[in-house]
Amino acid sequence: MEIKILQEKENSIKVLMKDTNIVFVNSIRRQIMSGVPVIAIEDVHFYENTGAMHDEMLAQRLGMVPLKSDSKKCKAGDSVKLVLEKDGPCTVYSSDIKSTDPNIEPVDLNIPITKLGTGEKLKLEMDAIVGTGEQHSKWQPAVVSYQEMPVIMSEKGAKDKSYKADMIEILLDEKHRDIQLKEGQHIEYDDTTFIFTIESHGNMSPRELFEAAIDGLMEKAKEFRGELKNLS
């Protein structure tokens, strides 16, 4: 297999994967979205909430706030306490969430949580725990997708010599993705070459997610091999 980074930004990455198959590529996608452990708010303990938003709705909104942490120290079951206390009138933002662990904080400090009117108060504690997207979408660290590489074919069924560079440039252009075909050309898809895209929610960098997914798949393969040996 050949892997090449085509485009890398702060929270996204596009990778060209050659000489592979859809089963392997989709395994990496599923592992990133449902198998990489990250931390998220799970339990919310309300001491005072006189605002308009009900406790249940507020807890749901808090749970969906992505949290940044040290990915190398994230282990299933780990937890940390967070607190939030505000008096109205004000808008409560994710920046108002305070953590007892300085390494854990909201990814974006400008996420609006709720509004408090004059005289309204909010006081609560939260338990953030490490989990995976398999349990709930709040532990899903990224949106991951892939597509087979389009190939420009001529009338005679031959590949256009410049199809790779042309196609990659078109697919990386976020504003214009129209493929202009010449007379006698058509599009087919190479089922051994893929453009793999990771759009991180900020819990971990795209590279960290890629590496964590590969490590997770290797660990699963190791466990499976052990089970096979036990059968014999």
Do both 45 and 132 map to the same domain? yes
**How far is Cα 93 from Cα 110, in angstroms, rounded to an integer?**
6
Q: What is the mean pLDDT of the chain?
A: 85
**How far is Cα 24 from Cα 30, in angstroms, rounded to an integer?**
10
pLDDT tens for each residue of 93-136: 999 999 988 888 999 999 999 999 999 999 999 999 999 989 99
- Report the interhelical angle of 22-35 vs 206-231 (nearest 10°): 110
Partners of 173 in the β-ladder: none
Contact 100, 82 (CB under 8 A): yes
Distances (CA, A) of 141 to 33, 36, 85, 135, 177: 6, 8, 27, 12, 27
Q: Average pLDDT in the 8-19 region?
A: 90
pLDDT for 163 equals 45
Do both 173 and 221 map to the same domain? yes
Q: Average pLDDT in the 126-154 region?
A: 88
pLDDT tens for each residue of 169-196: 556 665 555 666 667 777 778 888 898 9
Q: Give the global pTM.
A: 0.82
Task: State the CB neighbour count (10 A cutoff) for residue 46.
Answer: 12
Do both 76 and 93 map to the same domain? yes
Domain carrying residue 110: 38-138
pLDDT for 149 equals 82
Q: What is the DSSP letter of 71?
A: G
Do both 175 and 221 map to the same domain? yes
Do both 21 and 61 map to the same domain? no
- Concatenated DSSP letters of 12-63: EEEEEEES--HHHHHHHHHHHHHHS-EEEEEEEEEEEE-SSS-HHHHHHHHH
Q: Helix or strand or coil: residue 147?
A: strand
CATH number, domain with residue 112 = 2.170.120.12
CATH number, domain with residue 172 = 3.30.1360.10
- Concatenated DSSP letters of 85-121: EEESSEEEEGGG-EESSTT-EES-TT-EEEEE-TT-E
Longest pairwise C-alpha distance within the chain: 76
Euclidean distance between the first and the last CA atom of the chain, given in angstroms as a whole number: 32
- What is the number of structural domains in the chain? 2
pLDDT tens for each residue of 41-57: 999 999 999 999 999 99
